[in-house]
Chain A
Amino acid sequence: MRLSKRRGLGLASAAAVTALALAACAGPSDSDGGDTDGDFTPLKSIKLQLQWLPQAQFAGYYLAQEKGYFKEEGFDDVEIVPSGGDIVPQDALVAGDVDFAVAWVPKVLGSIEASGVELTDIAQVFQKSGTTQVSWKGSGITSVKDFEGKKIGSWGFGNEWEIFAAMAADGLDSTTVSITTQDFSMNALLDKDVDAAQAMTYNELAQVLETVNPATGKLYTMDDLDVIYYEDTEGAMLQDALWADTKRLADDPAYADAAVRFLKAVAKGWLYARDNPEDAAKVVYDIASNAEAAFPVGPVHQLWMMNEVNKLIWTGADFGVVDDAAWKKTVAGALSAKNQDGLELITSEPPASAYSNEYIKKAIEELKKDGVDLSGSYTPIDVTLTEGGQ
């Protein structure tokens, strides 16, 4: 008995030593060189973190891949990492899992303040907000002022701040609304569990319009709905942006160089999506349903999304350049917004490094030299939705 006890202790200490040794091994051990100023080895392999599953919302990145634009800019290998689980793009970027990430501006501002991370918005892909609040026609919710005392649906996870910013701008008390967490279908609205449901113009709004109205046997139409576009309110916030690691941009010339080349390829991808929305939607749909096994909503839905996303990107402003006024509006909204529990997203101005137009401007300039013209606008197409978007 005594012997076995001693042996047990020996085993336990051996286990402890092994654990320590393993922990020591697990530390970061990669240190690729190339830190010498001015003289660096260009990055050839990068990773981009999306904020959701593969769909036309991210067409530009997939097109840059598919049409060889990344290759043209000197990348041998670009991995586009979809999200859709518990992956938070800015966290993946901070952790070093990826080199660039797509994320909404208010969410990253929240992360910057909450955990002191340093990230830079290097390109504001979506110039306008695509968020809406959808209610049934006749239910009397036609503006944010009508929210008080109502049941308002939202997905949460940082998608709700435009609601509160818009309410704060109108001087409304956010504690009077009852925010209900929506799932990613539109059943909450269809079953009248909420008075107004959150919907992106390019995705969930289309889902309602792809559903058969049992009363008529036909699809719901925009005439059945009242839609509040946050873009028209003071609550509008900047959404899909490309983020990079601030410190790495400053310290690693190879990374800064890769950022510009990456933006050039991405701009070309989005340009292709602007000029060929049908083909772009098809390419993304094929990638999403085959290569990525992401079970996307059908091809018609993707075309609708492509069309709506193009409207948010090509507003007449320079592609990807952060508009200072829109940025200030986002920050002001984020500062003023208080959620239903009285919590705030941020309490102080974000650091100046939170956005930089240096890289996108350089990319646009270089593209101009290459004969790629990013000016011009998008001509929306008409998309007739079908049941289930198929």
Chain B
Amino acid sequence: MSDFARAASPVAARRRTTGRGWTAAAWGALGILAVAVIWELYKFLGPADGVTIGATPGETGSGVMILPRTHDRAMPHIWTMVARLFEPTSGGATPPLVVTVAQAAVVTLGMAAVGWLIGVAVGMLLGLVMQRWKLLEWGLLPWIVVSQIVPLIAFAPVVNAIGNQIDRSGTPWPQWLSVAVIASYLAFFPVAIGVLRGLEAPDRIHVDLMRSYAAGYWATLFRLRLPASVPHLLPALRLAAANAVLGAVVAEVSIGMRGGIGRMLIQLAGQASSDPAAPWGPMFGSIVLGLIAAGSVALIGFGLKNYRRGEATA
């Protein structure tokens, strides 16, 4: 019904969409504010050492903590965290934390973007061949699913070792490429599944129609299957973007790649006792990173808006 209305009156629809954009932004800001208020409220009301039940007196670390600690080391004030962003990262004459976080975020975003591109390319290819040849779907699909069960921290060092080997044998293989490949390993999965589902989305009647026109595989692919796959593809791309960022951050930590936000997070967390507000810098940075990644994919959706009918949720 709403699709119909939008198609009937594109101008009104657009106005409605931009109006909704502002409301969404306002809700988003309100959400952030609410989190900040809840944080400070709990910090104010909650006990400094948290609440532990079932503790045996005299036995350190016994019992189960049901409410977290609220002292300044566990939960720094919001304003302390924000102020810390503008203090030197490592003391001395080092740049402010916010600058370092931004630089690290750019490094990670770059690797995640490369990983996303590789993942999308591989995922699309897999989706296409699996749709084209049923035999390949039977053969490949279980492996694709199984591939995601392999823990990233087990997989990452293997990729790194192979990368090192290639690098040593003469072909340059920078460390960031390993990170991108690991990120792509998480990113390709939703794309492969999404493309496969999307390409198989056209109704039988539409496929039969194409057949009755004597349209070949390629014509059916470009005129029917690909357009029909867009509503499945876009959520898959968004998932892939989020996965690529996640994969890049974990990969950085795992293979010891420096300069990115994952590494920075671990490093600053190690200093959390004497400088508790510092690790929150890269934490905010990674949140922004995720938003940027998802937002960039939304731009692709904007370009494909003609095909976005009845988009599948993911």
Which A residues are within 8 Å of any B CB, using their own CB? 4-5, 7-9, 11-12, 26, 28-30, 53, 82-87, 95-97, 150-151, 178, 180, 183-187, 190-195, 207-208, 210-211, 214, 285, 288-290, 292-300, 387-390
Contact = CB atoms under 8 A, between A and B. Distances in A.
B92 A294 contact: no
Given A9-B135, A84-B267, A187-B272, 16 more contacts: A5-B135, A26-B165, A29-B170, A53-B267, A86-B157, A183-B269, A185-B270, A285-B90, A288-B90, A289-B94, A294-B267, A298-B90, A388-B271, A388-B274, A388-B278, A390-B88
A186 B258 CA distance: 23
Interface stretch (B13-21, B69-77, B203-211, B293-301): B69-77
Given A210-B274, A388-B275, A29 B169 contact: yes
A207 B271 contact: yes
Query: What 9 A-B pairs are tightest by C-beta distance, nearest first?
Result: A390-B91, A298-B91, A85-B256, A8-B133, A184-B270, A210-B274, A388-B275, A185-B272, A8-B135
B248 interface: no
16 contacts: A4-B132, A8-B136, A11-B136, A12-B136, A30-B169, A82-B256, A85-B252, A95-B161, A180-B61, A186-B274, A187-B73, A187-B272, A190-B73, A192-B60, A289-B92, A298-B91
B165 A190 contact: no
Interface string B206-225: 00000000000000000000
B164 A86 contact: no
Interface centre among B61, B72, B268 (most CB of A within 10 A): B61
Interface residues of B, number: 56
Contacts, number: 155
A151 B60 contact: yes
Given A85-B256, A190-B73, A390-B88, A26 B267 contact: no
Nearest to A4: B133
Contact of A295 (B90, B139, B161): B90
B127 to A, nearest CB: 15
A131 to B, nearest CB: 17
B92 to A, nearest CB: 5
B91 A82 contact: no
Interface in B65-99: 69, 71-74, 88-92, 94
Interface of B: 49, 59-61, 69, 71-74, 88-92, 94, 100, 104, 129, 132-136, 139, 153, 156-157, 161-162, 164-166, 168-170, 252-259, 263-264, 266-275, 278
A246 to B, nearest CB: 20
